[in-house]
């Protein structure tokens, strides 16, 4: 795959509103699927599918803690994504208004 094809694929991933929102949320802090489900008011399978696509696209990485998987941005090798993220409206207010606390997944 050429560099331009890879860039096009990554930009296609960001063309989805939910995935773009997830990237903006992860720009604030790492999150588990349960937190993203709560914030976006959608199903766990839906979020898991988006996370798989973002992981396959090399935009997020996961770390397992116990039975929970936490996601964070992984864009060090894609500086153009960092520039795009600077232009995305902050999602900090969604994190603050979420009823799912950071440790809620462990309940």
Query: Rounded to two decimals, what is the model's pTM?
Result: 0.88
One digit per residue, the tens of pLDDT, for the chain of length 107 reads: 899 999 999 999 999 999 999 999 999 999 999 999 999 999 999 999 999 999 999 999 999 988 888 999 999 999 999 999 999 999 999 988 776 654 455 44
pLDDT at 107: 42
- With beta carbons less than 8 A apart as the criterion, state whether 90 and 28 touch: yes
Residue 104 pLDDT = 52
Please choose, from the candidates 11, 4, 15, 16, the residue with its C-alpha nearest in 3D space to the C-alpha of residue 75: 11
CB-based burial label for 56 (10 Å; 0-12, 13-18, 19+): exposed
Enumerate domains of the chain plus CATH numbers. 3-95 (1.10.10.10)
């Amino acid at each position: 795959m050429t560099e331009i094809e890879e860039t096009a694929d990554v930009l296609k991933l960001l063309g989805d509103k939910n995935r773009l929102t997830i990237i903006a949320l992860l720009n604030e802090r790492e999150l588990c699927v349960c937190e993203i489900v709560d914030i976006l008011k959608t199903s766990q399978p839906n979020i898991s599918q988006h996370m798989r696509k973002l992981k396959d696209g090399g935009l997020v990485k996961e770390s397992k803690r116990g039975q929970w998987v936490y996601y964070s941005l992984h864009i060090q090798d894609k500086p153009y994504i960092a520039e795009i993220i600077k232009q995305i409206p902050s999602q900090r207010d969604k994190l603050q208004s979420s009823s799912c606390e950071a440790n809620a997944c462990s309940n």
